[in-house]
């Protein structure tokens, strides 16, 4: 169980937070002063400290300095009652993982904590990494991420790495496309960490869960009292990311109005908090991710074409896990190592049957699904080898469909001759058919219906383009 220490002299806040986090599976300790907090830290390996900025006996800056020097492996999130971007940046430079302002929103906190802890694991794993002061802490974050991120050796991975290296040093906006769980956010972070902005903030924002009412203030921030319920000044994500990178996940879900406001901000490179007249200059690189087809959204009038073109200065497609060949077991080994560490186990390998089923399974949830499967299997394994018994039924019972995709080499040939109109048409057809087949789990009757052709034509086409 992950251990969290809350240091806050407002007993009610600490209590509520503690209850909420305990319900969400954390082992929580609370302290009402900085010195009590430091006492607790001496005796326990805390993964994370949530520390209020204003304490009776000290302040967040001092606490952060002490914790980072004495317990470099423990993550620190500072909570404050008011927004001050300069201070936020300063604290982050000093090694705070993040900075949150009151009022505290449960989902936001949980999200931040989960992410912080994910980063933190790697810190625990890599004992050689010091995390003492600002610059070296940023360097170490970069190093930690490099250790966490499996680059892969398959052909598609090499291409992915090449594209990341190509676009990272520029200021281009990037669209990252890929099915759910393929690693879009990880690739965005990798771009950020390989860019000259790496020691500035990387702010991720999940647009999919934004309500219409909250979206504007999340993006642009608001001044205290600018609308009913705006009890505190709030810094928007653009401002938080200033100097660094703003990663927008699931942009396809944003309302048309907010898209217009986004376009304005991106074009003018300036932001105004709601209720304020002061314009703040922005230097933010934008990376967006989507697992929907934005072109479709444009056609249906749901997504603004001008905004799409602003974002689409460069695009990267992350292939689904099932198409990543050798990477599959590389990733599985990596997750096994992490799971062993987290769970205190000593599982060293996967049985040959497990390897075989990992290689042929469909992995609809991609890398995220695999990470969970390996973790669960490690937990269930008593000995040193993961066997079929430890896999969930959907994997151990999984049978390969009778047909599969065209051999890579053949598609490659079509791709290389893409200016030949016949090949271009063939490729488009291939992609569409494959996409629909996957969507319906290879049910040919359903696929034929969606494609608006009869089953026989579908069979013929599958044969012609070599989907066996």
Ligand X SMILES: Nc1ncnc2c1ncn2[C@@H]1O[C@H](COP(=O)(O)OP(=O)(O)OP(=O)(O)O)[C@@H](O)[C@H]1O
Pairing mode, strands 270-272 and 279-281: antiparallel
The reply on whether position 121 binds ligand X by CB under 6 A is: no
Q: What is the DSSP string of 300-324?
A: TTSS-HHHHHHHTTEEEEPPPGGG-
CB count, 10 Å around CB of 316? 21
> Shortest Cβ distance from residue 150 to ligand X (Å)?
4
Output b/e per residue, 80-90; b: 16+ Cβ within 10 A: beebeeebbbe
Give the one residue of 98, 148, 239, 249 binding Mg ion; rule: CB under 5 A. 249
The reply on whether position 291 binds ligand X by CB under 6 A is: yes
Give the one residue of 37, 75, 95, 178 binding ligand X; rule: CB under 6 A. 178
Q: Give how many residues touch ligand X by CB under 6 A.
A: 18
Q: Which stretch binds Mg ion (CB under 5 A): 43-51, 181-189, 393-401, 450-458?
A: 181-189
Measured on CA atoms in the order 168, 171, 177, 180, is the torsion positive or negative? positive
Q: Which stretch binds ligand X (CB under 6 A): 99-107, 210-218, 270-278, 366-374?
A: 366-374
* CA distance linking residue 227 with residue 246, whole number of Å: 26
* CA distance linking residue 318 with residue 320, whole number of Å: 7
The enclosing H or E element of 353 equals: helix 352-360
Tokens of 175: 């669209």
Burial of 183 (0-12, 13-18, 19+ CB in 10 A): buried
Q: Which is nearer to Mg ion, 249 or 369 (CB)?
A: 249
Q: Which residue is nearest to ligand X (CB)?
A: 183
* CA distance linking residue 190 with residue 202, whole number of Å: 10
Residue 183 contacts which entry, ligand X, Mg ion, none (Cβ below 5-8 A, type-dependent): ligand X
Q: Which stretch binds ligand X (CB under 6 A): 69-77, 184-192, 400-408, 444-452?
A: 184-192
Residue 149 contacts which entry, Mg ion, ligand X, none (Cβ below 5-8 A, type-dependent): ligand X
Give the one residue of 52, 98, 185, 369 binding Mg ion; rule: CB under 5 A. 185
The reply on whether position 367 binds ligand X by CB under 6 A is: yes
Q: Name the strands in the sheet holding 202-206, side by side, starting at the edge strand that comes first in the sequence.
A: 202-206, 245-249, 285-290, 174-177, 314-317
Q: Which is nearer to ligand X, 52 or 369 (CB)?
A: 369
Give the one residue of 8, 52, 185, 218 binding ligand X; rule: CB under 6 A. 185
Give the one residue of 37, 75, 95, 183 binding ligand X; rule: CB under 6 A. 183
Site of interaction with Mg ion (CB under 5 A): 184-185, 249
Site of interaction with ligand X (CB under 6 A): 148-150, 178, 180-186, 249, 289, 291, 334, 367-368, 371
């Amino acid at each position: 169980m992950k251990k969290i220490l809350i240091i806050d002299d407002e007993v009610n806040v600490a209590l509520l937070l503690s209850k909420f986090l305990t319900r969400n599976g954390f082992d929580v300790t609370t302290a009402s002063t900085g010195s009590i907090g430091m006492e607790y830290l001496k005796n326990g390996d805390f993964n994370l400290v949530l520390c209020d900025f204003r304490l009776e006996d000290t302040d967040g800056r001092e606490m952060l300095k002490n914790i980072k020097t004495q317990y470099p492996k423990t993550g620190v999130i500072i909570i404050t009652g008011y927004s001050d971007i300069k201070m936020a940046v300063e604290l982050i430079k000093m090694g705070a993982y993040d900075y949150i302002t009151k009022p505290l929103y449960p989902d936001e906190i949980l999200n931040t904590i989960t992410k912080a802890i994910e980063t933190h694991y790697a810190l625990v794993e890599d004992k050689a990494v010091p995390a003492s002061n600002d610059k070296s802490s940023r360097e170490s974050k970069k190093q930690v991420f490099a250790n966490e991120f499996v680059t892969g050796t398959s052909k598609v991975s090499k291409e992915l790495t090449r594209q990341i290296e190509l676009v990272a040093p520029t200021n281009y906006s990037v669209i990252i496309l890929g099915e759910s769980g393929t690693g879009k956010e990880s690739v965005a972070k990798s771009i950020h960490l390989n860019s000259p902005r790496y020691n500035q903030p990387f702010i991720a924002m999940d647009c999919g869960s934004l309500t219409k009412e909250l979206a504007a203030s999340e993006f642009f921030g608001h001044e205290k009292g600018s609308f009913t319920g705006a009890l505190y000044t709030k810094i928007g994500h653009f401002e938080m990311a200033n100097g660094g990178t703003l990663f927008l996940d699931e942009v396809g879900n944003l309302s048309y109005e907010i898209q217009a406001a986004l376009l304005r901000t991106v074009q003018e490179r300036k932001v105004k908090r709601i209720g304020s007249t002061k314009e703040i200059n922005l230097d933010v690189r934008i990376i967006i991710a989507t697992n929907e087809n934005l072109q479709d959204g444009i056609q249906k009038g749901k997504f603004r074409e001008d905004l799409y073109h602003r974002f689409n200065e460069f695009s990267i497609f992350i292939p689904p896990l099932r198409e990543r060949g050798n990477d599959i077991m590389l990733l599985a080994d990596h997750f096994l190592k992490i799971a062993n560490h987290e769970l205190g186990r000593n599982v060293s390998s996967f049985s040959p049957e497990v390897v075989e089923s990992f290689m042929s399974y469909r992995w609809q949830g991609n890398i995220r699904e695999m990470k969970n499967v390996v973790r669960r299997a490690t937990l269930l394994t008593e000995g040193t080898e993961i066997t079929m018994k430890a896999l969930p039924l959907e994997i151990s019972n999984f049978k390969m469909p009778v047909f599969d995709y065209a051999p890579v080499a053949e598609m490659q040939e079509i791709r290389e001759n893409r200016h030949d109109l016949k090949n271009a048409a063939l490729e488009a057809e291939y992609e569409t058919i494959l996409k629909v087949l996957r969507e319906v789990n290879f049910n040919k009757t359903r696929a034929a219906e969606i494609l608006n052709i009869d089953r026989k034509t579908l069979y013929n086409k599958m044969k012609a383009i070599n989907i066996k």
